[in-house]
Every structure is written in structure tokens, then in C-alpha cells.
Amino acid sequence: TIRSKKSFKSSVGSEKEIEIAKEKNNTPKMTTLGGLIIILSSFLCLLLVLAFINILHKLWWTPIRIQKLMALQGIKGPSYRFIHGNTKEISNMKKEVMGRPHILSHDIFSVVQPHVHSWTNIYGKNYLQWHGSRAQLVITEP
């Protein structure tokens, strides 16, 4: 059963119908690719939001909560600064003390650790200080 070219074209359809069929077959592939891109970008955004929340929890919420809990127990100290804690204050105090001339004396505590000397005078013998987002409970008199 050999068909002629005319009968073959008529059974398949015209060239326009063939082009339309090709476009229809390509369209679902494009929409699935577009859907995949949307799903992947949504997943990436969700991961970024979760990472941001995790960082905010570790660097802000937890230190503030610890500071409030310690204050309820009567332990106070210099307030927490975002990310760096009290390290900038400590380094500034050390630079200031090292820039001044020193009198020879056996009382070198205020020179070696000026932040501890200053903060024990302000906050008492036990206080809370921060190294980054980590709390450090300083107990000078057990």
C-alpha cells in the first residue's frame, strides 16, 4: 500500500497545521522550564530568608535575651552592641591607657585590664561583658 504524496500530506495535514502542532509541543516544555525556574528561585529566596533569620537570632535575639535574664538576677554590665559586643570599647580603653605615661607601681591592674577595672567600679564585682555575640560573666570576688 504505497501512498502518493498528496494522500500522505492530506492525512498528516497542511504545513500550517504541522507548524501549529510543533509550537504546541514546544509550549509545554517552556512552561515547565518557567515553572522550574520559579520554584528554584522561590526555594533560593526561602533559604536566604531562613539564613537571615538564623543570623539575626544568633547575633541579636539571643544576646539581648541573655542580657535581660542576667539583669533580672541582678547582674548588669555594659550593653550589648550588635555583632562586635564590647570588644571595641575594650580596645579603645586599652589604647587610651597605653597612650598615657605610667607611674612605676605594683598596682598594674588598671593598666593591664582597664576595662575590668573601670566596669567593676561602675557595675560592681560581678558583671556581664560581651566578646562578639558571646556573653562573658566576670566574677572578681567569688
Half-sphere exposure of 86 (CA within 13 A, CB side): 21
Cell readout for 63 is 544576646
Domains: count for the chain: 1
Give the confidence band of 22 by pLDDT, cuts at 50, 70, 90. low
Q: Considering only 24-38, 41-55, 76-90, 96-110, which range has the smallest mean pLDDT?
A: 24-38
Looking at per-residue pLDDT, the higher value among 21 and 10 belongs to 21
Give the confidence band of 95 by pLDDT, cuts at 50, 70, 90. very high
Cell readout for 15 is 504545513
pTM of the model: 0.68
Q: Which residue reads 504505497 in cell numbers?
A: 2
Q: Which residue reads 515553572 in cell numbers?
A: 35
Cell readout for 46 is 526561602
- Domain that includes residue 122, residue range: 5-139
